[in-house]
Every structure is written in C-alpha cells, then in structure tokens.
Structure 1
Amino acid sequence: MSSSFFQILSWDQPHDVVLTPVVVFSVLWYIRLLTKPKLPPLPPGPPGLPIVGNLPFLSPELHTYFEGLAGKYGPIFKLRLGAKLAVVVSSPETAREVLKTHDVTFANHDVPVAGRVNTYGGVDILWLPYGQEWRMLRKVCVSRMLSSATLDSSYALRRAEIRRTVRFLEDRGRSGSPVNLGEQIFMAILNVILQMLWGATVADEERESVGSEFRELISEMTEIVGIPDISDFFPVLGRFDLQGLVKRMRKPAQQLDRLFDRVINQRLRVDKRNQGDGQDFLQFLLKVREEDQSTPLTMDHVKAVLTDMVLGGIDTSSNTIQYAMAELINRPEVKKRAQQELDEVVGKDNVVEEPHITKLRYLSAVMKETLRVHPIFPLLIPHRSSQSAVVSGYTIPKDTKVFVNVWAIHRDPRSWENPLEFDPDRFLGRTGDFSGNNFSYLLITPSLLENFMSGLGSLSSDSCAYESSRGREQKKINSKPRDFTCPLDLDCDTEYVGWIPEDIDLLPYTSQEAERLENVSSEDVIKEASPTDHSTNPDTSTKYPTFTIQTKQPINNAHGKSKVEIDTKPKGI
C-alpha cells in the first residue's frame, strides 16, 4: 500500500509534472476569488442593442432625454454609447461627488476626434489631461493672463468697443429700424474678445477684415463640432474618418493657424520700445513665452489658448445675452424693474460702466436666473474617468464618459421653489455661493472666461442697448482688493485667491491657491481652510475670513513654512 502511495507521488511520470502546477494554480486562483473584495455594481440603466448600445434611442435634446431617464433609473445611471460606457449624474449630491470628492479622477475630458484638429493636437487648457502641463497652462491663463491687473489694462479696449455697439443699437432704435439682435450681440462679443486678444496689436484698418474672417471660421468650426461623429463612439474607426469631419475641420483650422501667424508676426515685428496703446493678451502670452524660462510655453500653446478664448467665449456669452433679452421682452414687469434699477444706479443720461455692475443687484439676479433656466452647457463638457471610482454606491470604471446634467439639477424641486418659472427674485437675499461652487447651481466648470465674459443687458426705455463686462463679483477668484496687503512674500498678482465670503466652502479655493504656491500642488493640501477672523464690508455686507493652507512639505516662497495663513481683509475696512 505504502509503495503504491509513493509511486503515485513520484515525479517520474511526465503527466504528474504538468498536473501538479495546474492543481496548485487552480487552488490559489480560487482562494484569491474568495478573498478579493467585490466592487459595487455598475449604475442601473436602460437596455441597449448589441454593438450600438443605446445610440439608436438617443434624442437630439440629450439633456431633456437624460432628465426623463433619471426619473426612471435614479440620479445616476449608465448608457452604452457604441463601444463606450457613459454615466449620467443628475442631482447636486452626485455632481458634488464627481466634481469635488473625486475631482482629480474626473478632471480630464472626453476629447472628440475633430476637436483635436483645431486645438493643435489638444494642447489647449480644455482638452489637456490633468498634470504638470495643464497646471502650467492654467496658471498662465487664470493667475496671470486673467488677473485683475491684466484685465484692467485692457479696460479701455473693451469700453470703446461696447460703446460703439451701444451707439449703433441706439441709432437703430430711434429710427425705428429692425435689428437682428443675435447677429449684433455676436459681433459685439467677437469684437470685444478680439480687442482683448490683440486690440493693441492689429492696426485699425485691419481689424474689420480680421473680425470678418474670424466670424466665418468660428461658424464653420462650431457647425462641425456639433455633428455627432461615429469615431467618437467607436474609437477604432477614428483612423478612417468615415464621415469626413476631420478632413472638413482641417481646412478652417489651417486658415485659423495662418491668421494667427499673421497677427503674431505683426506683433513680433513691432519695436519693443513701442508697445502700442495698451497691452493685450497676445502681447502678454508672447512676453511670458520669451522671458519666463520656468514656463515652457510653446507657440502651439499660445495659439491653442487664443483658440479657446475665441471659440469658448463668443457663442456662450452671445447665447446667454440673447436668452436674457428674450426673457425680459416676454416679462414686462421684470424689464421694468431692471430699467428702474439702471435709472437709480447709473442715471438716465449715463452709460453703464464696469464699476456699476456690483451695484446692479437686480440685473445681476436676472443674469443668474438666465443661467439657471438656460445653462450655457446643459451637460457641461463631458468628463472622462482616469481610474475607477465609486460614486453614490456605484462603480464608474476607468475611461467612462461622464455627463453632469446641469439642466436637470437646475430644475430640481428640492433645491428650487417653482423651478420652471423665471424668477430673478429667488437670488435676491438668498445666501450661498453662485459662482460655481454650489452644486445645485453649476456654471461652466472650470470657467476661464467667466472673469471677463459675464454679460449684462443694459436697457433704456426708448431702445435696447447691450452692455457686456466681466463683472467684478467679489466671490470670484483673482478679484484682489486694491489696498490688499500681500501676506508673506507671495506674488499676490499671480498667487492670491480672492475675496472669499464666509458662507461658502473654502477648500476648492485653498486647493487652487496651493497650486499657485511654488512646489505645491492641490494634492499637497492636508488641512481644510477654517475662517478665524471676520470683518464686514459695509458696502457689500461681504465677510472676509482668515484661512489657512497646510501642506505636506515646506513651501519654497513662504520662508520654508508648510503652513500659510491668508488674511483676506482689505485695508481700511
């Protein structure tokens, strides 16, 4: 018996050499299955067809279609769009998890194939993946190019262009001539943005032709990007360009590139000792590229940022102002109150200026309500998960396309009373943050353009006159008070967060502030900000707390400290 047993265990037979490792591997694999933690399930969702998934059932009005599905499947549900998995979130709670709790995981966007063509391979701030290059470009755009000092330097350019438009509309109104308001608003916004981009660079005689050329290119690019591309749903087909959208996009993209080259070369030919009437954004970008060796800004980066400013600012602002004007025309009582406020604050014989904006509380409420009822991007810009994450108890796998249904969130009856009604009064006296950190009220996230693209409608009793400005709301980043004393030795023009009211969550601001500190990123912040001292501005009733940033490592430009205290209280208050 014993000899038979040892014979069975003998390694002399060839089949035992193969069988033994197979048995051992199978046992270990089974043990791993038993001990491996199980991930939560995928979100629920409607059934789809093989290969194409839910694509055949989509409605052209995606935001309303998704709102209907949310009523059936809940605030988070999944769809199969061709070869891609998509998840839609439709409540403030799920939006907070995506945009704040797991912000780094969902920081990237799902880049359309045609979108890479007109952004120099996707090196703009919108499509770049989250990382060092994105932080560099964001720092240039937000902390430097859109700082208060830079925007103040281009104020004269904006003011002159806006006044030209106001005079045109006033003349047409007095003569009783019809006006294509949408076209005029589009042209006004286009001219304002081009003035800010290179108003001090392009000669007056060339400005009209450059603007006309841009208008045609923008219209063509916007049309192409708006066409659904099968390559975006089946990436393996991208190389074939079955619909020819990439080929169509190359033509306007090349024309835009030649136009940029023409303007940039003209700027480079200008004698540095003769800077023109004022510094525009192009001058600033070229200066950073040439003089700041710590910022590896390439010419493609410069052109991609200019493209973002043009494509990202014109349609968004133009559409919002048109919606606001339509709401005012359809609601005479709202229009009358806006007119009365303008008469009281500005005066009947005066023109609205940027310093007036913070005092026009009702008109500001009209714009906030317009953005609630008619969000710029009803589904924001689709995000893409860089790794798996658990949201509201469901697993969202890596490389999932994530939609945030702002349209549905802005109509959530739990957050808004009578959400389908246009009622600016809901924003008067309402406490909270309405600049993008309140997840029941979402604007463009993140928004590089909101600092100077806040549109306000200026109405007189005789005619409709349009006024656009960047609006200096004190809650917004980079709205440093003029008499502010810079803490420590920080460069406040590029590193200061802004005036922060008491009643908002400060952590996103301190995380962004930490990114501006030398050798510190948002992941280094280990302590949330906590207000410790408050002082109230009698003009705005805004409170300015002292808050703290604590990091894992010393901060180079803060005397080696790892704890920085920021006092937001302005002098003289």
Structure 2
Amino acid sequence: MKSSTNIISHPISLAILYLLPLLFCIIPLYIKILKHSDLNKKSKKPRLPPGPKPWPIVGSLPQMLANKSTFRWIQNIMNDFDTEITCIQLGNIHVIPVTSPSIAQEILTKQDAIFASRPWNWSNEHVSQGYLTTAITPFGEQWKKMKRVIATELVSPHRLQWLHEKRVEEADNLVRYVYNQCKNGSARVNIRLAGQHYGGNLVRRLFFNKRYFGNGRQDGGPGAEELEHVEALLNVLKYLFAFSISDYVPLLREFDLDGQKEAMKKATNTIRKYHDPIIEERIHQWKSGTRTHQEDWLDIPVSLKDANNNPLLTMEEIKAQIIELMIATIDNPYNNVEWILSELLNQPELLQKAVEELDNVVGRKKQVQESDIPKLNYVKACVREGFRLHPIVDFIIPHVSVKDTIIANYFIPKGSHVLIRRQGIGQNPRVWDEPLKFKPERHLKKDGSNLNLIELNLRLITFSTGRRSCPGVTLGTTMTVMLFARLVHGFTWCAPSTEPIIDLSECEGDTSKAKPLIALGKPRLPLEVYFN
C-alpha cells in the first residue's frame, strides 16, 4: 500500500492535485469564497479560530499530503499558533482541533446536541455497511435505535454480570499463556502480542462463545486465524482514524489516491470471512427453533423482537454492529498496558508500589478478580496515567456540527469536523504539572476513596462524555485493569539486558509505541495459583 507521504512526490498525483481547482470550477467558487470572506470581515460575528491560511478550494490539503503524519502536523500548527483551538480548512471542510478541557466540555456537554453527528465519508460508510451502527453513524433515527439496543441490551449491568465467567476464563487463559512462556525461568515475553490477543480472545468469547476460529495453540496463544482476525480489526481502526484526501474531496473517492480504500476493504473482508458464517448460522438457528436460549452477546441482537414480534434488527445491522463493537473494544487495553509497563520498567520503584498494592489487596494465594478492582486505586491510577500520556490515537472520533455556533468566542460553521485531541489535552502544560512525566500518584484522591477511569472535567480523555460517549465504560475499565493487574500480580518483570532502559519512542504516524515491549517475565506466585 502506498503511504500518503509518497503521493505528493508522484508526478501523476501531483498533476491531479494541481488540477483540483479545475475539477471544482475554480473561478465561480473562488469568487464565492471571496464574497463570504468579505462578509465575514464586515460582520461583527466572531472570526474562525486561528490557523493556517488556506489555498483556494483545496484549503490546506497540499500541506496535509506533504506531511508524513497528519496528527503531528496538526500538533505543530497548534504549537506555532500557541492555541488550544485552531481551524484547518481541508477542501471545503473546516477541521477544528481542540486541546483545552474547558473548550472540550463546552463542545461535549453544553453544546452536545449541536456536535452530536459524525462525518459522512467512505470509510465510515463502508465499515458500518451504510451507516447501520452507532459510533461512526451520523446523528439520526438509526443511531438512536442502535444506541438504545447497545445501552439497554448489551452493556447493561445485568448483561455484564451475565458474561462474568467468560471474562474470567480469558483472564485465566492470559496468565496461563504468559506462564507457559516463562515457567522454566525468566523469559522474553512480547507484551503487545499478549495484550492484543487477550483482547481478541475476549471479544470472540463474548460474541461467539469461542476463543479460537481455528485450533489455537496448546500454550493458550493465538493460531493463524486469530492472528489474522486481530490484525484485520486493528487495520480497520487504523484507516478509520486516517486522514484520507477523499474524505475532504468526495469527487476523488473513486481514485483511491492514498490506497486507504483498498486496504480498508481487505481488512473488512477478512473480518467478515470469520464473522458472517457464524452470524448467518445463528440467525438460522433462532428462526428454525433449534436455538432457544441466549448464551453470548450474538444471541441478544439476533433474538430481539419488535412490537409486532418481528426481528428488531436485520442481518446487515447485526453484522455491522458486531464489527464496530469489536474494534471499539480491542485497542485501548493492550495499548494502555504496554505503555504503562514500559514506563514502570523505567521507574522500578513505581512498579513495586503496584505490586505491593496487589499483594495487600489480593494476596499471593489467588489471582486478581474483578471484585478486587474497587480497592486497587494505585493500579487504576497507573491506568489513568497511561490514558493521559499515551492514548491509542490522538483524536477521538470527529464530532460534526449540525449548525453554525460559537465556541470559546470563535465562529464554528455548520459541518465542521471537531477533533478533541486526547494527547493534546493529556499533555497540555496549562493543565498538568510535568506533563511528559509518568506520575500515577497525581490521580490518587486525598481521602483514599475509590478511583475510577471516568474524567468528567475532561482533563484527560478516557471514555469521553455526552451523547457520543462510550457506553462500554464498565467493560473497558474491567478489561484494561484486569490485563494490567493480572500481568503485574502474576509475574515479576524487568527490562532485558539488551535494553536496560525501555525506549519510549512513539511511531512516526501515530501515538502507539514504536517498538513492541519485550520484557523478561518470571512467575512469582505458587504453582497451584496458575492452574486453579
């Protein structure tokens, strides 16, 4: 696949780019823009947020394409303008990045109704099978319907308790998998791989009541099918959060200039190769009466009925929503835990505090259980600090304004894409003391009361807030804390001698860790605990 950085150097692509003004009938549109600009100057309305001066018609798309990492380019623009809200025009769309908690609150709480929609673009439409889902579907009746199903039927406290044993099975399997790698003494463990496939195993167990699509491995690790499935889920996420030129110039959608369309199709086809036969068979079982009781998450949407006793959801809605829920579940836990352990291995005294808390709360004769989580405040402080400093991607899903409005005394036009920058807020020096330092204790409450991962004042972004907040807060919290706690409680960790100081560099194109964390692990609990 060609990266977006290579597009600008290709002669044909350059020609297409320079011909864009002609495609849009440059003269009449440019006149329209000038008139609009003159009206803005004459009016007393607040101006747009500060930002680079756009080119006619194409805006700042040439600069976006010329930069290897769009999010770092946006980061640099905000730094250059010394602003916590900026405006970057891409095509005819105003993109509004935000790094201020107070401005984010104004958008996501005070004016939540105005910013409750999502972009209409090819990648969102493709993954949601025509906007049939929740998270990436624009505001409307379909979104309301699917949001109601998820909130009341899938992630309610009753349903999460119902699936408790499945979560425990996968936490146990994670520990056995790591134990089998280091049971004969210290051994190198790929923490990223372990975390990714804990997440993959868990979502397959919750939805399909199975850990493996194939035979898996005897040590509890993933087989070829599971590796392919998780890679495809993560690739869908990658391209959903990418900045594609066709998102801002719809007439170029068919050209797939940056190769993202082809890559997205390949990833979704891989996922559907595994999902669709299971879903179709399950629907047939419920229709034929050979299946009459619910065993997993898939059974719930399949068996739901409307007021006329007809299926509430179509097969297409079920297929699309399951993909969306899986990609929404799998990424944060492994990324968070990989970064936390990396930071803690460079500050062993902090890692020891987490170990001591786990030993005091859980003991060394059993494994960590979900019922222990309320008492694990230092562990949760580590998780919060991981979310603050190292989010999986810099932006939450864009919010689209449904009408003109004013934010922080700036004019935000209808149709603007507002990007709340997670890392921008989490590392904002106006908000945090020593923002680049990993300091879990900054999150602890003075009275020692229960700490949770929700941040209502948006000084860091975990599960967001408002109409578009993540409904799976409890599940996301549980998965992340259990992954981290099980690894730290069950094993002694240290940096390999070949890398005594863990490299904390980020990838060039996103905020994930550049190199997978390879740590030396050694069992620290009695043998019977691992196989209880």
TM-score range, shorter chain: 0.7 to 0.9
Residue 183 of structure 1 aligns to which amino acid in structure 2?
L
Please name the residue that 1:197 is paired with.
207
Please name the residue that 1:444 is paired with.
463
CA distance in 2: counterparts of 1:149 and 1:353, whole angstroms: 18
CA distance in 2: counterparts of 1:354 and 1:306, whole angstroms: 25
**Deviations 1:136-161 (CA, angstroms, capped at 9, x unpaired):** 21111122210111111111111112
| Larger relative helix fraction | 2
- Tell me, yes or no, if structure 1 residue 170 matches structure 2 residue 199: no
| Residue 164 (structure 1) shift | 1.3
1:86-485 maps to which residues of 2 (within 5 A)?
A: 86-175=95-184, 176-199=186-209, 211-222=226-237, 224-225=239-240, 228-270=243-285, 279-289=295-305, 296-429=312-445, 435-445=454-464, 446-454=469-477, 455-456=480-481, 457-458=484-485, 459-460=488-489, 462-463=491-492
CA distance in 1: counterparts of 2:235 and 2:78, whole angstroms: 34
| Residue 292 (structure 1) shift | 7.8
Aligned to 1:452, the other structure's residue is in SS state helix
The answer to whether the 8 A contact 2:247-2:253 is kept is: yes
Cα distance change, pair 56–204 in 1 and its aligned pair in 2 (3 A)? closer
Aligned to 2:95, the other structure's residue is in SS state strand
CA distance in 1: counterparts of 2:53 and 2:114, whole angstroms: 27
**Deviations 1:258-304 (CA, angstroms, capped at 9, x unpaired):** 4333112332454757668x721101111215788598422222112
Residue 171 of structure 2 aligns to which amino acid in structure 1?
I
The answer to whether the 8 A contact 1:85-1:400 is kept is: yes
Cα distance change, pair 112–60 in 1 and its aligned pair in 2 (3 A)? farther
| Residue 114 (structure 1) shift | 2.5
Moved more, 151-160 or 248-257: 248-257
Cα distance change, pair 216–409 in 1 and its aligned pair in 2 (3 A)? closer
Cα distance change, pair 201–106 in 1 and its aligned pair in 2 (3 A)? same
| Residue 85 (structure 1) shift | 1.8
Please name the residue that 2:35 is paired with.
none
Residue 451 of structure 1 aligns to which amino acid in structure 2?
T
CA distance in 1: counterparts of 2:492 and 2:307, whole angstroms: 48
CA distance in 1: counterparts of 2:211 and 2:383, whole angstroms: 33
Aligned to 1:108, the other structure's residue is in SS state coil
| Residue 68 (structure 1) shift | 4.1
Give unpaired runs (5+ residues) of structure 2: 1-38, 217-221, 495-532
Cα distance change, pair 430–101 in 1 and its aligned pair in 2 (3 A)? farther
Please name the residue that 2:45 is paired with.
39
| Residue 231 (structure 1) shift | 0.6
The answer to whether the 8 A contact 2:133-2:142 is kept is: no
The answer to whether the 8 A contact 1:170-1:464 is kept is: no
The answer to whether the 8 A contact 1:202-1:263 is kept is: no
Please name the residue that 2:59 is paired with.
53
CA distance in 2: counterparts of 1:418 and 1:227, whole angstroms: 30
**Deviations 1:37-95 (CA, angstroms, capped at 9, x unpaired):** 74322222122434443234445455554444334252222112233221222211211
Please name the residue that 1:493 is paired with.
none
Aligned to 1:179, the other structure's residue is in SS state strand
CA distance in 1: counterparts of 2:54 and 2:166, whole angstroms: 53
CA distance in 1: counterparts of 2:208 and 2:303, whole angstroms: 13
**Residue 83 (structure 1) aligned to one of 86, 92, 103:** 92
The answer to whether the 8 A contact 1:185-1:318 is kept is: yes
**Deviations 1:156-196 (CA, angstroms, capped at 9, x unpaired):** 11111211110121232332332222112111110011101
CA distance in 1: counterparts of 2:210 and 2:242, whole angstroms: 36
Residue 267 of structure 1 aligns to which amino acid in structure 2?
R
Cα distance change, pair 89–281 in 1 and its aligned pair in 2 (3 A)? same
CA distance in 2: counterparts of 1:329 and 1:433, whole angstroms: 24
Give unpaired runs (5+ residues) of structure 1: 1-32, 466-573
The answer to whether the 8 A contact 2:429-2:435 is kept is: yes
Moved more, 249-258 or 199-208: 199-208
Moved more, 54-63 or 281-290: 54-63
Aligned to 1:86, the other structure's residue is in SS state strand
CA distance in 1: counterparts of 2:352 and 2:308, whole angstroms: 51
Aligned to 2:86, the other structure's residue is in SS state strand
| Residue 372 (structure 1) shift | 0.8
CA distance in 1: counterparts of 2:490 and 2:90, whole angstroms: 51
Q: Paired residues, what number?
A: 430
Residue 442 of structure 1 aligns to which amino acid in structure 2?
I
Please name the residue that 1:562 is paired with.
none
**Deviations 1:391-426 (CA, angstroms, capped at 9, x unpaired):** 111111111121112222222334322222211111
TM-score (structure 2 length as normaliser): 0.73
CA distance in 1: counterparts of 2:388 and 2:242, whole angstroms: 26
Aligned to 1:136, the other structure's residue is in SS state helix
Identify which of structures 1 and 2 has the higher relative contact order when contacts are C-alpha pairs closer than 8 Å and 6+ apart. 2
| Residue 317 (structure 1) shift | 2.0
Cα distance change, pair 142–378 in 1 and its aligned pair in 2 (3 A)? same
Indicate the percent of aligned positions where both proteins have the same amino acid: 26
Aligned to 1:104, the other structure's residue is in SS state coil
Moved more, 210-219 or 78-87: 210-219
CA distance in 1: counterparts of 2:315 and 2:306, whole angstroms: 10
CA distance in 1: counterparts of 2:260 and 2:438, whole angstroms: 38
| Residue 429 (structure 1) shift | 1.3
Cα distance change, pair 156–229 in 1 and its aligned pair in 2 (3 A)? same
CA distance in 1: counterparts of 2:247 and 2:379, whole angstroms: 41
The answer to whether the 8 A contact 2:120-2:138 is kept is: no
TM-score (structure 1 length as normaliser): 0.68
Please name the residue that 2:529 is paired with.
none
Residue 425 of structure 2 aligns to which amino acid in structure 1?
I
Residue 87 of structure 2 aligns to which amino acid in structure 1?
K
The answer to whether the 8 A contact 2:96-2:417 is kept is: yes
The answer to whether the 8 A contact 1:173-1:462 is kept is: no
